[in-house]
Structure 1
């Protein structure tokens, strides 16, 4: 057994462990020199309430490079109605930013999914390279709340709906 065999086994078990861990689904969008870019993320987390800040991680995809280079981006927290949009932004070459998906452009230039459960306009504070990924810590500068509803989660490589608790 070589070190690369050990690393490969550890990486595979690490992926398997997180496939069994359900997470919320977000879509992150920004505008770059060649137009809008976006990706689906399941790593968004609240970091601080005062000041409002969040974090997420991205890999080195073309969309991730646009987002990490942008002066601002929007983190959309998605509900079940956005499962198809989340799938499109998770697959390279799938349709993105189509009128049918419900995109607008904010006065500041970032793409906005108009019916997201919440949209958080952010400015990057820190970019931390970790292996093949980058952890982004961002200041939230604006919050646009949509209509609350059921939850969209990512679990075992599938988008699933979870009913919201009664009274919410």
Structure 2
């Protein structure tokens, strides 16, 4: 039995302690916005926040997460879409196919929480998510736009 706090709700999950957080989020909690991409923490489609830090959930076993740690998924970032990153993504029409975008948004929100005014080098160093459609220029522009847009604290 594992107790996790996801999007502000503490829940118990009866799963193997080595189960990756991604699968608990998707299959047990029913939050399917977090995507599976590679399974080895390389692509970033599975990015969530753990205590405000962008974390790749596909390779994070739930036994590595303490019950008091706070997990935020794309659904919990801002349910009404008012987070500055979400607003910038819409304003600049960032997504193409959209599959990687929840992870990209979570990575960008994590970056801005740690560094509210990143330059191009900061963005390149921190946003290592893979986008098969190649929307990197729009992602960079949206991160800069969100940096101008006010608070970037996760909900």
Bigger share in strand = 1
**TM-score normalized with structure 2 length:** 0.28
**TM-score normalized with structure 1 length:** 0.26
Structure showing greater Rg: 1
